[in-house]
Structures are given as structure tokens and as C-alpha cells.
Amino acid sequence: MLDILLDHYDEKTGSLMPDETVRDELTTMMIAGRETSMQALSWAIYHLAKNKEILFKVRAESNVAMGDNFPTYQTISKLVYTRQLIYETLRFYPPLWMLARKNNEDDNLNGFHLPAGSRILINVYGLHRHPTYWDNPDIFDPDRFDPSFDEKKTEFTAKEQFI
């Protein structure tokens, strides 16, 4: 990662990334990247401990896919229910509960004019718990991401939105 950052240059100016920017990018990756992953993992483990049925499904799937072997990319990619658990964990406890964006040009949102340069806050937590987009949004249910249910999902609940 450090090599990539040290070798990165601005295409417009041709200059390398300043040392302060390299430091800031590394800090972000080391702290924020770890924290969000650990937070998601902690919540997933919490729900595994809280719900034995989910735990048994994950454990059985792991035993079938890997047996006594060390996990590989091929075996991990077979863990469909475990993926559902992760998606539901990220829906229920999004690592970033709010996103801030700035629009580049004038826009209109439901009749409300947003001039270019407006700061817009997106309530990810609220969207992930909104009953318009989710059935029983306050219930933790990994089955909502079952691939066989894809045809029932709206554009806002498609799992591709979370990848």
C-alpha cells in the first residue's frame, strides 16, 4: 500500500503525492479501515451469539464448504448464507451511518432546488431501516439477502448496492 501511495502521481500536474497526503491516506486505511471491519465483525458475532439458528446455519455451511481444510477463495465463495449474514449486519449496522456529498451542478429533489455546491447528507442508517424499502426493517434477518429472493427486491435493496 505504501509503495502504491508513494508512486501515485497527479495526472494533471504530474507531481507525486505530498508526504502529508501519503500519511493521511495511510492513517485512514490503518485506522478507519480496521475499525469498520472490526465493528461489522463484532456485530455479526453478537448476532451469532444471540441467535443459535443463525449460528448453526453458518457453522453447517462452513463444515460443508471447508470440512477440516484451511479456507481458500474457492471455499469462501461457497459460503452463501455467511455472505447473507454479512450483508444483513452491514444493513442493520452500517459502518458509516451518514454520508456527506456535494453536488456539482444544480439539481431538483422532490421540488426542492439544490444549487450547485450544496452539501447533502445521506442518512444511510435511516434508509437501511426504512419500511418502504425493507420488510420488517427492525428485525435482523439474513434470509432477506437469499439470492432466490432477488426478484422481489427493489433497486434500493439489491445486494449489489452493498458491494
Residue 41 in any domain: the answer is yes
Residue 25 in any domain: the answer is yes
Nearest alpha-carbon partner for 40 in 83, 4, 2: 83
Residue 132 in any domain: the answer is no
Range of the domain at 39: 1-50
Residue 22 in any domain: the answer is yes
Handedness of CA 67, 73, 76, 77 (dihedral sign): negative
Q: Name the DSSP class of 84.
A: H
Residue 73 in any domain: the answer is no
Q: What is the pLDDT of residues 5-32, one digit of tens each?
A: 888 888 888 899 889 988 888 888 777 7
Q: Name the DSSP class of 101.
A: E
Residues in the chain predicted with pLDDT less than 70, given as ranges, are 150-163
| CA atoms of 123 and 42, how far apart (whole Å) | 22
Nearest alpha-carbon partner for 124 in 99, 102, 152: 99
Q: Is the pTM of this model over 0.85?
A: no
Residue 17 in any domain: the answer is yes
- Domain tally for the chain? 1
Residue 121 in any domain: the answer is no
What pLDDT, on the 0 to 100 scale, is given for residue 162? Answer: 43
| CA atoms of 22 and 82, how far apart (whole Å) | 35
Residue 77 in any domain: the answer is no
3-class state of residue 127 by DSSP: helix
Residue 78's beta-bridge partner residues? none
